[in-house]
A and B are shown apart, each in its own frame.
Chain A
């Protein structure tokens, strides 16, 4: 078998790197093939010649000193500016924190009315309470004209057709914080009893008025009749209708103060007591406010950095 040995095989054979499986065949061919033997000898001479020349000596030593190594590593310690990736991450975190705190604030105000009471709400409730008081006075004056309380309901319903169905609910809402204040310390102790017992008392025809000296808040007078009648009798559809009814009653010369038997409780609007909570609610908005401002700043800086690169 005649095998054509390549120059790669010859070169590898000289270096002892020929495939061990091919080595016996190569050596057998080397004994028989003069041309192959010549190729091996010629290439071996080149290798010998190359190895006969020593390497050039370097012009100097390249020994390192600590200073050489330290000087080169100094630039690594230079302060680096925050990367764009870090700025984006900070912006995202600030935005998430802002949304979370703002959401929690909204959630807390939805759960606790005291925290969400604003001055405008307290002011808005005042005329409603006044109008309801006028209606109640009409109802209380009615028994003078009619002997039975039941008969008073009919004229009342005739004279004052309806009170707005929403007003009863508003009254209940206005009283609801008082019921919540059962657990509150000093004011709750003061108003807990009326709040707990005012339902039957009011149902008996009593009224709730503010004691003298507590005029800081808006006085709320509510009567059980109103609460009872709002559920049974037709009521004014709007607040304006109720005002008209009250005005009509006043022109008729009725004086509610004459005959009314009033069960009076010292109840005032809890606006004054809500004030600290309101302030706390307003103050709590500083946190999302600051976070929002920080988010805006970070967004601006990130945009500037991205444009700069």
Chain B
């Protein structure tokens, strides 16, 4: 589940702790997608997520001396989450259940989605899937959404999620199970909106399962 870093992360962290900004920038390049996506899912605002990600990296660099080992990305994403919560309190922003603002797949309306690479059919389908998942995720409670993102999209281990969210391991397990069940239910209800290749195979057998159970 946990992705292994292609470089010596510990050495980079130690070098950054000694004041090597280049080493910390290398860590930033590796983790900035996760940082940005987490902020985006928490704030539901691309500009705010952008600012929060930058502030989180600055805060992380200043607080690097306090890092005492363990999972660096869990420590980093905890800072990101705290920065997002601070931003919510500052602007009295609340997570909304609607994902329409960001779910617009129009590239002109959302320049962050512009991709200069060729647009094959698979990429288009992925975008449709992402839009669907984003809407579905937005309907989940925040704690479940965070857990699902960290585990299933970012590849965090249970322990890393527990460290990031500062909850117990059992809480991570239960939140994750509830989030997966909720997503499964949403996918089954609105499965026709998904590209055919992504539709669940089990959606037609739900009644059979209940009958057999």
A binds B: yes
Residues of A with Cβ closer than 8 Å to B? 6-8, 10-12, 15-17, 34-35, 38-39, 41-43, 45-47, 49-66, 68-69, 72-73
**Separation of A68 and B212 alpha carbons in the complex (Å):** 62
**How far, in angstroms, from A10 to B36 measured CA to CA in the complex?**
30
**Cα of A52 to Cα of B195 in the assembled complex, Å:** 13
Nearest chain B CB to A34's CB is how many angstroms away? 6
Given A15-B151, A34-B212, A38-B202, answer yes or no on A59-B180 (Cβ-Cβ < 8 Å).
no
A11 near B180: Cβ-Cβ < 8 Å: yes
In the complex, are the beta carbons of B34 and A55 less than 8 A apart?
Answer: yes
Instruction: Decide: A53 and B129 in contact? CB cutoff 8 A.
Output: yes
Check B152–A42 contact: CB distance below 8 A.
no
With most chain B CB atoms within 10 A of its CB, the pick from A39, A62, A63, A73 is: A62
Query: Which chain A positions have C-beta within 8 A of B113?
Result: 56
A51 contacts B57, C-beta separation under 8 Å? no
A-chain residues with CB within 8 Å of residue B25 when the two chains form the complex: 63-64
Given A11-B177, A15-B1, A66 and B198 contact (CB-CB distance below 8 Å)? no
Q: Contact at B201–A62, with CB atoms within 8 Å? A: no
The distance in angstroms between the C-alpha atoms of A54 and B183, with both chains bound, is 17
CB of A64 within 8 A of CB of B198, answer no
Bound-state Cα–Cα, A64 to B28, Å: 9
Complex CA gap A56/B158 in Å reads 22
Given A8-B177, A46-B183, A66-B21: A52 in contact with B129 (beta carbons within 8 A): yes
- Among B36, B53, B177, B200, the residue within 8 A (CB) of A42 is B200
- The minimal Cβ–Cβ distance linking B118 to chain A, given in whole angstroms, is 16
Supposing A47-B152, A52-B198 touch, asked if A35 and B28 sit within 8 A by C-beta, the answer is no
Check if A47 sits within 8 Å of B180, measured CB to CB. yes
